[in-house]
């Protein structure tokens, strides 16, 4: 039986965790803080649980230098749950902003005699205007660059209707039906504003790193940069990013995003907890989501309460039974990074991630007759290195995986939907593990030549 040190796991998620964290977890599971009970057995409403939650938030805030005007939520449901929560919450805000504007405009118009009727008619006049605006103007922009952003756009369409979804880019269209690149911003067709004082769409959504397809945005899109003349949240485009598979792997200017979310099971912890970083101005008392009655009357989906961000924020992520063990693991991983890199914070981990990815891609590029990297060089993921062996020949790729496993290099099989090979280069993948994979890539290539 191999020891943990002899095996290097490159699976896409659940992914490896730092050995030191797992060793501490094994003790905490049996007897947390010498209390005679394990971490999975304590109440999620206990002082210990609140301390674990506070420590995890503090570590994440330190790592990413999250501004004070952002809230951090811990939920369940994974990234897929947030596909839904993003839509129900931000569409609900879009409707509420339009309702308030309509009410203000029509109140003035009625008082000035510019609008026929009386104040008794105001509620129905507001609803009629809202109904028209929802039908004609409500749009959600999606940048579809891989399997996960595609699924997110499909969930949005399921909730609010396909007619409300604007796929601003679909990178398959220029790549023979495959996700291999990110089209230039000049080709993006984002929703344009139809009136002054309001954004063009309820949100713009993109997946920062596509786990299945190995595509990563190299930087924050210039086209989505906030404009100085825009008032925050009133006029700015609300940018939403799924960072499930590159979370805490590189520097992020959180202030450019309305919402960032990610499942923990890749870079942060084990499966079971989802992290949401959310601008506080998108929560009460600054703004409310439109009432469930109004949304239902407009034919718009209402969020389940366990995915309702205002409810989760109001209850400090403890509305329902939060898996405290999972939060503790995530907190330990993040504290480990804080302690490891000090003042460099997440920049230190970014350097390591980039070095490991460079070593792998350089080796693959050295043997173009044997290996073919799937995504274009302009958007190669540092986290998920996807490639084919010998042009995708099934027998050769099977041979490659079998040979890797004999060397203790596990989890290299590509996603079932695309096949091939995928090496997930998450934070807990050691430089030693990467070097052993680099050596195997070279050895296999020479033998296959």
Q: Do 252 and 363 belong to one domain?
A: no
Whole-angstrom Cα Rg for the chain = 24
Q: Could you identify the residue written with the tokens 């063990």?
A: 325
Q: Do 276 and 315 belong to one domain?
A: yes
In which domain, by residue range, is 144 found?
A: 70-325
Name residue 216's beta-bridge partners: 209
pLDDT value of residue 176: 82
Q: Which of the listed residues 297, 325, 353 is the one where a domain comes to its end?
A: 325
Both tokens of 302, joined, read: 């209402």
Cis before 294? omega within 30: no
Cis before 285? omega within 30: yes
In-domain check, residue 33: no
What pTM did the predictor assign? Answer: 0.95
Domain count for the chain = 2
Q: Alpha-carbon distance 426 to 444, whole Å?
A: 23
Q: Do 292 and 396 belong to one domain?
A: no
In-domain check, residue 92: yes
Q: Do 163 and 219 belong to one domain?
A: yes
Q: Do 294 and 421 belong to one domain?
A: no
Helix (H, G, I), strand (E, B) or coil at 399: helix
Q: Alpha-carbon distance 336 to 355, whole Å?
A: 20
What CATH number did the domain enclosing 441 receive?
3.90.1150.10
Q: Alpha-carbon distance 108 to 300, whole Å?
A: 28
For residue 228, what are the CA distances in angstroms to 173, 224, 233? 34, 12, 12
In-domain check, residue 83: yes
Q: How many CB atoms lie within 10 A of CB 110?
A: 18
Helix (H, G, I), strand (E, B) or coil at 248: coil
Q: Do 222 and 146 belong to one domain?
A: yes
What CATH number did the domain enclosing 111 receive?
3.40.640.10
| Spatial CB neighbours of 186, under 8 Å, sequence gap ≥ 6 | none
Q: Do 175 and 147 belong to one domain?
A: yes
In-domain check, residue 63: no
Q: Do 291 and 376 belong to one domain?
A: no
Q: Do 244 and 313 belong to one domain?
A: yes
For residue 24, what are the CA distances in angstroms to 336, 341, 383? 12, 20, 26
Sheet with 239-242: strands ordered across: 70-75, 274-279, 259-263, 239-242, 204-207, 140-144, 165-170
Rounded to a whole number of angstroms, the distance between the first and last alpha carbons of the chain is: 33
In-domain check, residue 221: yes
Both tokens of 107, joined, read: 């109140």
Q: Do 311 and 354 belong to one domain?
A: no
Q: How many CB atoms lie within 10 A of CB 440?
A: 19
Q: Which residues of the chain have pLDDT under 70?
A: 114, 117-119, 194-199, 227-235
Q: Do 264 and 356 belong to one domain?
A: no
Q: Alpha-carbon distance 67 to 178, whole Å?
A: 38
pLDDT value of residue 317: 97
In-domain check, residue 43: no
In-domain check, residue 295: yes
Q: Do 377 and 298 belong to one domain?
A: no
Secondary-structure percent of the chain, ordered helix, strand, coil, rounded to 5: 50, 15, 40
In-domain check, residue 265: yes
Q: Could you identify the residue written with the tokens 């099977």?
A: 398
């Amino acid at each position: 039986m191999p020891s943990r040190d002899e095996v290097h796991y490159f699976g896409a998620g659940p992914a490896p965790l730092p050995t030191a964290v797992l060793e501490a977890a094994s003790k905490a599971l049996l007897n947390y803080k010498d209390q005679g009970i394990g971490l999975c057995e304590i109440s999620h409403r206990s002082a210990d649980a609140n301390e674990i939650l506070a420590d995890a938030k503090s570590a994440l805030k330190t790592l990413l230098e999250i501004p004070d005007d952002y809230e951090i939520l811990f939920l369940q449901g994974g990234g897929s749950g947030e596909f839904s929560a993003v839509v129900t919450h931000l569409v609900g805000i879009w409707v509420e902003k339009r309702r308030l504007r309509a009410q203000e405009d029509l109140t003035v118009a009625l008082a000035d005699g510019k609008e026929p009727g009386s104040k008794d008619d105001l509620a129905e006049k507001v609803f009629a205007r809202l109904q028209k605006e929802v039908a004609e103007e409500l749009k959600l922009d999606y940048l579809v660059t891989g399997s996960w952003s595609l699924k997110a756009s499909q969930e949005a369409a399921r909730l609010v209707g396909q007619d409300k979804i604007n796929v601003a880019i679909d990178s398959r269209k220029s790549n023979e039906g495959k996700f291999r690149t990110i089209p230039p911003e000049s080709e993006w067709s984002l929703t344009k504003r139809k009136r002054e004082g309001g954004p063009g769409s309820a949100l713009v959504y993109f997946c920062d790193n596509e786990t299945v397809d190995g595509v990563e945005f190299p930087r924050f899109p210039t086209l989505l940069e906030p404009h100085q003349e825009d008032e925050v949240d009133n006029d700015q485009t609300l940018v939403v990013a799924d960072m499930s598979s590159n979370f805490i792997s590189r520097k992020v200017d959180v202030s450019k995003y309305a919402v960032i979310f990610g499942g923990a099971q890749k870079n942060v912890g084990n499966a079971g907890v989802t992290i949401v970083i959310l601008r506080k101005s998108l929560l009460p008392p600054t703004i409310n989501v439109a009432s469930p009655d109004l949304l239902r009357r407009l034919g718009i989906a209402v969020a389940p309460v366990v995915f309702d961000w205002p409810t989760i924020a109001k209850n400090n992520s403890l509305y329902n039974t939060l898996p405290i063990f999972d939060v503790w693991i995530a907190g330990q991983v993040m504290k480990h990074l804080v302690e490891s890199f000090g003042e460099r914070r997440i920049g230190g981990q970014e350097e390591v991630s980039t070095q490991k990815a460079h070593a792998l891609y350089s080796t693959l590029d050295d043997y173009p007759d044997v290996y073919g990297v799937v995504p274009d060089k302009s958007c190669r993921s540092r986290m998920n290195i996807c490639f084919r062996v010998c042009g995708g020949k099934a027998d050769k790729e099977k041979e490659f995986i079998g040979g890797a496993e004999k060397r203790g290099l596990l989890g290299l099989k590509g996603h079932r939907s695309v096949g091939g090979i995928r090496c997930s280069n998450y934070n807990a993948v050691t430089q030693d593990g990467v070097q052993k994979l680099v050596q195997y890539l070279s050895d296999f290539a020479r033998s296959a030549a």
